[in-house]
Amino acid sequence: RAATEEQLTDNLLRQLNSMLAEGSATIEVKSGYGLTTKDELKMLRAIATAAEHFPGTLVPTALIAHAIDPEQPDFINTTINETLPAVTTEFPAITIDAYCEKGAWSFKDTVRLFDAALEAGHPIRVHTDQFNELGITQWCIDRALEGAPVRSVDHLEATSPETLNRIADSPLFAVALPCSGFHVDQRYADARTYLDHNPRGGLVLA
C-alpha cells in the first residue's frame, strides 16, 4: 500500500519477465488488499501499464473484496458503493473477485457485491469454501446456469462432493489452489471427486 504506482509496475514487470522465462504463457494478476478505492485503482493501473508490455499475456482481475479493514466501520458499503463504481468507470468489464469466508466477506455481502458487479457489466469469480462451505459456490453455479458471466470458483478445500459434482456439470471452471493448502494446513480440493464425475470438466491448478 505504501508503494507508488511506478514501483508496483516495475516490480510486476520483473515478476512477469521471470515467469515468462520459465514458460508461463498467460498470467492472471489481481489487485487486492488495497482496502481503499485509491489503492485498488493504483494497483489496477499498475497492472494495466504492465499489460501493455505483454499484449494478450496478462489477464487483470479486480479482487476488491478480500480482507476487511476493521478500522473502516462501513468498509463493505464503501467497497460496493464507491470502489466498485470507480473500478467500473476506469476498467469497464474487468472481472470482479471476492473472498467469501468466515472472518472475511459473508455470503450476504458477497451476493450484494456480485449483484452490483453483474448489473454493471462485470464478469465475476470467487474464492470460496477454503475453510467453510457458506453457500456462495451454489449461488455461483445457479447464476452460471442462468447465463450470467460467472467464470470460476476457486479454493474448494471445504466443498462437499455434491457441490463438486454440480460444479463439474456447470459452465464454471473449478480452480484448485494446492500451494495454498501446502503452506496453510495441508488440506486440498477434492479434485478426484470432481474429475471422476466429469473427466471433461474444467479444472485449473493455480
Per-residue pLDDT, 86: 99
Per-residue pLDDT, 175: 95
Same domain, 115 and 154: no
Same domain, 97 and 146: no
Per-residue pLDDT, 204: 84
pLDDT tens-digit readout, 18-33 = 999 999 989 999 999 8
Same domain, 83 and 144: no
Same domain, 107 and 23: yes
pLDDT tens-digit readout, 54-75 = 888 899 999 999 999 999 989 9
Q: Please state the pTM of the whole predicted model.
A: 0.95
Same domain, 86 and 154: no
CATH number of the domain to which 25 belongs: 3.20.20.140
- Residue listed under C-alpha cell 457489466: 121
Same domain, 118 and 138: no
- Asked if 109 and 75 count as a contact pair (C-beta separation under 8 A), the reply is no
Per-residue pLDDT, 203: 83
- pLDDT band (50, 70, 90) for residue 100: very high
Same domain, 110 and 142: no
Q: What is the DSSP letter of 170?
A: S
- The C-alpha atoms of residue 13 and residue 70 are separated, in whole angstroms, by 32
Provide the domain count of the chain: 2
Same domain, 6 and 79: yes
Per-residue pLDDT, 199: 82
Per-residue pLDDT, 5: 97
Same domain, 8 and 104: yes
Q: Supply the range of the domain harboring residue 94.
A: 1-122
Same domain, 95 and 145: no
Cα angle: 43, vertex 7, 57; to 5 degrees: 60
Per-residue pLDDT, 168: 94
- pLDDT band (50, 70, 90) for residue 43: very high
Helices assigned H by DSSP within 59-106: 75-78, 84-90
Same domain, 90 and 27: yes
